[in-house]
Structure 1
Amino acid sequence: MTSKPRALTRRIPRVQDLAPLMQFKKPQLGTAARLQRASTIWDLRDMAKRRTPKAPFDYTDGAAEAEITLRRAREAFADLQFRPGVLRNVETVDLSTSVLGRPSALPFGIAPTGFTRMMQSEGEYAGSQAAAAAGIPYTLSTMGTASIEDVAAAAPGGRNWFQLYLWTDRDRSLELITRAAAAGFDTLMVTVDTAVAGERLRDVRNGMTIPPALTLKTVLDASYRPAWWFN
């Protein structure tokens, strides 16, 4: 025989039961608080999109043509799978390794990005200092918005690399290499896949070309982001 289901007993929650769960915090404002609330890289992207005009945001966020390579790179990264090992001694965890003959606290570094300070005013200074604090390499782009010497001064204890676009003007290229070596940059990253520049369609539409061709729409889009203008 089937037993009759028990009747549900309802009761009003007691304050003393809920009190330990009620941990209302004072609202925190400012960039540091927003960064602390960000849970993923996509949260950071949303923050950047709200604060930055369309032209510099699309330059940082976009890629060439239909952005197929960018999409496939993200898919390849998403396909990586961690294989956890359980019931093992993890009293001491060490992620350090050797990168190009020198120690690195983590098995990665910060790749070169051009026009960084167009996106955020601290740009290469903040990037190199963050890398130094984390014990990983930082790579300054040929198209950086801070000089070789200034980046070296901003992160004197960091490991700095220099990325070089190999121009037709070999003397200018050699001058940059010489300056980087004199400033203590220990690794040269040579980029050779830009014999013909990629057609970055987002940038073309926003007027982010060389030379720039800013449209009225681009200027108006930037006008209501005063923090970006101020910085």
Structure 2
Amino acid sequence: MFDNRFQGRHCVVTGGASGLGEGIASRLAAEGATVEVWDINGAALTHVDQDRITTRQIDVTDADAVSWAMTETNPDVLVCSAGITGPNATTWDYSVDDWLAIHALNLHAVFYCCRAAAPLMAAKGWGRIVAIASIAGKDGNPNAPAYSASKAGVIGLIKSLGKELATTGVTANAIAPAAVRTAIFDQMTQEHIDFMQSKIPMGRFGTVEEIAAMACWLASDEASFATGACFDQSGGRATY
């Protein structure tokens, strides 16, 4: 890791009480950032320096709550990591309620956060926005239509936002991991998990630490010429 790479930076990580968000929040804090975790569960992270990381019970699917909290927090770095997979079913068997719920968290919440954070960062002349998308948003996974479509939407949103912010000192990028074994696997069938691993040429799932390393690079000063991009972390699965 890089000692104090984020000294003086204030970061918001949505969905940071578990999974990829927790790993990213922990690494940001370990490298000197002060971090606010926004998570509907409001769970506390216990294995990192609590002087650097706090948790707030924020429902990121509530546009008004996001706008208020973002203005109050005014972060330098925003990492949008909150997400769910939803059930595994064909498109024609997929319920409308599940479709709407997955898009509310996976896509609409990212829009709400970016919409609130971008002008605050632009006014300061520096900022980093990192959104966790998925290889499913590029390839489309069968029996995961809502998840695939919502993550494709995240990629498109970030590509648009990055171009809009290109001259402001603020960058916006996405990461498209292949499957990473976290608690989100509990939402999937074993058949779907096996399918995802079979598509990865490396023959293994990614790790939280690998995704956190990419997220922290994109959140740093070093990634100053990267914006409006989607970075694959797919173990060779990505084909474009």
Provide TM-score, normalisation by structure 2.
0.26
Provide TM-score, normalisation by structure 1.
0.27
